[in-house]
Amino acid sequence: MRGKPKLAVYWTGGCGGCDVSFLELGPALLDVLSQVEIVFWPALVDTKRADLEELPPRSITATLVNGTLRTEENVEMVRLLREKSQLVVAFGACAHLGGVPGLANLASREEILRTVTGNGFRLAPPPGGDAEDSPPELLGAARPLADEVAVDYTVPGCPPMPSLIGPFFEALLSGDLPDPGHVFAQEQALCKECPRTREDRKLTKVLRPHEALPDPQECLLDQGMICMGPVTRGGCGAACPKAGMPCTGCVGPTPEAGDPALAMIAALGSLVRAGDEGPAAFAAEDRVLDTLVDPLGTFYKYSLPVYVRARRAA
Amino acid sequence: MAEDFEPKVVAFLCRWCAGAGADLAGTSRLRYPPNAIPIRVNCSGRVDMEWVMEAFRSGADGVLIGGCHPGDCHYVSGNYKTRRRVYLLRKVLAEMGIEPERVRLEWVSATEGAKFARVMREFVSELKKLGPLHLEGAERAAEPVAARGRS
């Protein structure tokens, strides 16, 4: 490869956590940075859109995009980046699956604007400015990166953990890249790398994380916490369950699980019990399931825009 | 328009009870609305909620799941599992803005042809009141299911 690989990092509708996540590589980050040339990274270096426009097509080796697509400007920028890049990488849960901001898709664009800005609000240029200075229009819904441009690889997570970022840079810098479409995480469920022990495969209550101090060894799901481990890709080393927090599914569902909500419904349907099964237990089983607050938001915390486009037309 | 509307129903019927009940309704020449596309499954417990959603995305206005009465499941507890899954799915549907009544779970034994016919009449009449289910971008939503390899 001639010269250093050129790297771009861009954020769309995100929180900035993905940009910070690179720091978690620790000393390894210095190795990475010494081997790449950063051509565009608004969070880190002073580069503007005009600089990007001047670059020849496909001159950037890899562009890492984090954040959900939320505004018209986001879409323009990722299209521009796609044109200038050999590889486009969805970096983090928002670019991968829509992310937490994607939960806003349960409300319409108009409802969101009304709630945030009040009635009668219109996007307008600042005083003395012209139309070009107006804030960009919100899209009708938050959307994952792959909705707009071809995505070569995904580094998932909210934010991506060093154990997922590291292998991506190793592959990029060695030139030994996996097949397009590869997700830098395990195909197998997180449970495979979770040290907790599973015994009693019955769920008799649903507990939210603040309601109990979990046993340090026992499976969190067995203890009544809604842990998304069974349907979520491993690769993070079961970081949250090890720390006593149930997995919320940020790395995304395993290929086998598919839709994370429907896969969790299947799992919970098998696990929930209220005494012996039968008509006498139906009401009590329902009460157990009723204690699961906001199942939709729990199951699709990071992936609503990918799996739920099913909202009824107004 | 509401008067012309004929809801499309996908009915997942277990082969031991509800499927046999539907057969009996037919052989007994009972009259009931022909809106359902029946899909026979070995057990109501085999019905993946993914299938229910795929039915909706493919244009169904309602999904009926027919299983054995409590205590009669050929596989002991498949109907109990499906009952809990449907309960949860309906909660999720409500949060999505889809009427939970569009998914209906019924126990129909092999001798209950009349009950099957009654359930179909009730369900179709309820769905007519609810109106058609228009899913935004339904074709695109079907992609994640079709594209994923279940090995």
pLDDT in tens, B16-25: 999 999 999 9
Q: What is the pLDDT of residue A73?
A: 95
Contacts of A99 (CB under 8 A, 6+ apart): A14, A67, A68, A92, A93, A142, A158, A302
Q: What distance in Å separates the CA atoms of residue B72 and residue B115, rounded to the nearest whole number? A: 16
pTM of the model: 0.90
Contacts of A31 (CB under 8 A, 6+ apart): none
Q: What is the pLDDT of residue A257?
A: 93
- Quick check: is B1 in a domain? no
Share above pLDDT 70 across residues of chain A, in percent, rounded to a whole number: 98
Q: What is the pLDDT of residue A201?
A: 79
Residue of A nearest to B84 (CA): A269
- Quick check: is B76 in a domain? yes
CB contact under 8 A, B144 and A258: yes
CA angle B121, B122, B127 (to 5 degrees): 100
- Quick check: is B4 in a domain? no
Predicted confidence (pLDDT) per residue in B101-118, tens digit: 999 999 999 999 999 999
Of A285, A295, A309, the CB nearest to B92: A295
**Cβ count within 10 A of residue A286:** 15
Q: What distance in Å separates the CA atoms of residue A226 and residue A206, rounded to the nearest whole number? A: 7
Task: Locate the DSSP E strands across chain A.
Answer: 6-11, 37-40, 60-66, 69-71, 85-91, 138-143, 153-155
- Which range marks the domain in which residue B71 is found? 9-144
Q: What is the pLDDT along chain A (314 residues), one digit of tens a residue?
A: 468 999 999 999 999 999 999 999 999 999 999 999 999 999 999 999 999 999 999 999 999 999 999 999 999 999 999 999 999 999 999 999 999 999 999 998 888 888 888 887 777 778 888 877 788 889 999 999 999 999 999 999 999 999 999 999 999 999 999 999 999 999 999 999 999 998 877 899 999 999 999 999 999 999 999 999 999 999 999 999 999 999 999 999 999 999 999 999 999 999 999 999 999 999 999 999 999 999 999 999 999 999 987 454 43
Chain position carrying tokens 């009730």: B122
- Quick check: is B151 in a domain? no
Q: Tell me what ipTM this predicted complex has.
A: 0.88
Is the pLDDT assigned to residue B144 strictly greater than 50?
no
Whether B105 and chain A come into contact, CB under 8 Å, resolves to no
Report how many domains make up chain B: 1
Q: What is the pLDDT of residue A128?
A: 83
Which residues 119-138 of B have a C-beta within 8 angstroms of A?
133-138
- Quick check: is B17 in a domain? yes
- Quick check: is B58 in a domain? yes
Catalogue all structural domains in chain A, each as residue range(s) with its CATH number.
6-174 (3.40.50.700), 190-307 (no CATH)
Predicted confidence (pLDDT) per residue in A143-162, tens digit: 999 999 999 999 999 999 99
Pick from B119, B140, B122: nearest CA to B130: B122
Whether A7 and chain B come into contact, CB under 8 Å, resolves to no
CA angle A301, A226, A286 (to 5 degrees): 105
The CATH number that applies at residue B124 is 3.40.50
- Residue A60 near residue A36, CB atoms below 8 Å: no
Whether B91 and chain A come into contact, CB under 8 Å, resolves to yes
DSSP SS3 for A244: coil
Whether A296 and chain B come into contact, CB under 8 Å, resolves to yes
- Residue A32 near residue A86, CB atoms below 8 Å: no
Which residues of chain B have a CB within 8 Å of the CB of A289? 84, 87-88, 91
Q: What distance in Å separates the CA atoms of residue A253 and residue A20, rounded to the nearest whole number? A: 24
The alpha carbon of residue B31 is apart from the nearest alpha carbon of chain A, in Å, by 31
- Quick check: is B35 in a domain? yes
- Quick check: is B149 in a domain? no
Predicted confidence (pLDDT) per residue in A288-299, tens digit: 999 999 999 999
Is the pLDDT assigned to residue B140 strictly greater than 80?
no
